[in-house]
């Protein structure tokens, strides 16, 4: 199976007092830790919660622990264990040259995101285009609706072979959704569509608050700014609807896009940023 067929656990900030582990987690479902242990080498520990439907059964856990001198071998065995239950981890979250035990890693990452969000806020504050905020929100929503309808942005992706597009308008199932958003951002960037990649920053930053609560003040400030344009959202939605029809796009597809985009706009700002 391809890694895309599994539920991907994102990397989260280590709970270890010395920050000497790398951890991945889907809350209440799977937790994976990788660490370097003196006189043992690499140690990988994984825990998966299994829900039993019968009322007299308690939630059961499946556990994995493996150690050895070779981190690649340990990771491979851990992935095989996770894959049996339909899970995997975001291997790419381990940055090149990173040391396990580097307590500054997440602090640096958080500061980088804060700087990017501040840059986006300044863009809207200084923009001379009066409709800039409304266009950004609605066009971001329009593109996201198209991607969900096409199945290219599917927050409910599972390891099942057959999978229908998920049209839920809320930003839900965070660990799965963010993988799809980042994949689409990379796709747009690699194909020279930087404007579309920038549109997805809105969803990415809104979801990152769950992993990095330190970003909450900046993300809330961003949404407070964007919400000042809310009275113009319906007008812009009509504009993008009519524009796609004018361009000859199938009217039924445009109608589906408009319906989902309207539902997404009704759910904004995402409740995740206030939790």
Residue 56 pLDDT: 43
Please report where in the chains the tokens 């479902």 appear, as a residue.
29
Tokens representing residue 260 in the block = 């989902």
Determine contact, residues 36/42, Cβ cutoff 8 Å.
yes
β partners of residue 63: 47
Tell me the pLDDT tens digit for each residue of 175-233.
Answer: 567 767 877 888 889 889 988 899 999 998 998 887 678 899 999 999 999 999 999 99
pLDDT average, residue stretch 55-82: 76
pTM over 0.85: no
Residue 61 pLDDT: 79
Residue 51 pLDDT: 62
- pLDDT tier for residue 158 given thresholds of 50, 70 and 90: very low
Residue 258 pLDDT: 97
Residue 146 pLDDT: 93
Burial of 172 (0-12, 13-18, 19+ CB in 10 A): middle
Mean pLDDT taken over the chain: 82
- pLDDT tier for residue 66 given thresholds of 50, 70 and 90: confident
Give Cα 5 to chain centroid, integer Å. 16
Question: What is the rounded distance in angstroms from the CA atom of residue 184 to the CA atom of residue 41?
Answer: 37
Determine contact, residues 75/44, Cβ cutoff 8 Å.
yes
Tell me the pLDDT tens digit for each residue of 231-242.
Answer: 999 999 999 999
Please report where in the chains the tokens 């009322």 appear, as a residue.
55
Tell me the pLDDT tens digit for each residue of 23-50.
Answer: 888 888 899 988 876 555 678 889 998 7
- pLDDT tier for residue 171 given thresholds of 50, 70 and 90: confident
pLDDT average, residue stretch 13-24: 69
What is the DSSP code string of the chain?
Answer: --GGGSEEEPEE---STT--EEEEEETTTEEEEEEEETTTEEEEEEEEEE---STTSPPEEEEEEEEES-HHHHHHHHHHHHHHTTEEE-GGGS-TTPPTT-TTHHHHHHHHHHHHHHHHHHHHHH---TTHHHHHHHHHHHHHHHHHHHTSS-TT--S-SS-PPP---S--SHHHHHHHHHHHHHHHHHTT-HHHHHHTHHHHHHHHHHH-GGGHHHHHHHHHHHGGGGGGHHHHHHHHHHHHHHTT--HHHHHHHHHHHHHHHHTPSPGGGG-
β partners of residue 30: 26, 48
């Amino acid at each position: 199976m391809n890694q895309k067929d599994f539920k991907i656990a994102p990397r989260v900030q280590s709970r270890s007092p010395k920050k000497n582990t790398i951890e991945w987690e889907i809350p209440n479902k799977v937790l994976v830790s990788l660490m370097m242990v003196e006189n043992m080498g690499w140690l990988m520990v994984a825990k998966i919660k299994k829900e039993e439907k019968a009322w007299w059964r308690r939630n059961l856990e499946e556990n994995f622990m493996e150690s050895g001198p070779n981190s690649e071998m340990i990771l491979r065995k851990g992935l095989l264990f996770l894959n049996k239950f339909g899970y995997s981890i975001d291997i790419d979250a381990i940055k090149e040259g990173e040391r396990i035990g580097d307590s500054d890693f997440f602090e640096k990452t958080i500061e980088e995101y804060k700087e990017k969000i501040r840059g986006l806020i300044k863009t809207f504050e200084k923009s001379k285009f009066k409709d800039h905020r409304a266009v950004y929100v609605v066009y971001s929503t329009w593109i996201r609706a198209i991607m969900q309808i096409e199945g290219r942005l599917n927050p409910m992706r599972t390891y099942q072979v057959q999978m229908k597009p998920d049209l839920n308008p809320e930003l839900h199932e965070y660990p799965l959704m963010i993988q799809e958003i980042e994949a689409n951002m990379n796709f747009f960037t690699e194909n020279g569509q930087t404007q579309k990649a920038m549109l997805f920053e809105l969803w990415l930053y809104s979801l990152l608050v769950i992993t990095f609560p330190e970003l909450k003040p900046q993300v809330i400030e961003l949404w407070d700014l964007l919400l000042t344009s809310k009275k113009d959202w319906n007008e812009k939605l009509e504009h993008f609807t009519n524009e796609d029809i004018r361009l000859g796009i199938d009217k039924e597809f445009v109608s589906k896009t408009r319906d989902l985009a309207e539902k997404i706009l009704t759910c904004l700002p995402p409740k995740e940023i206030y939790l």
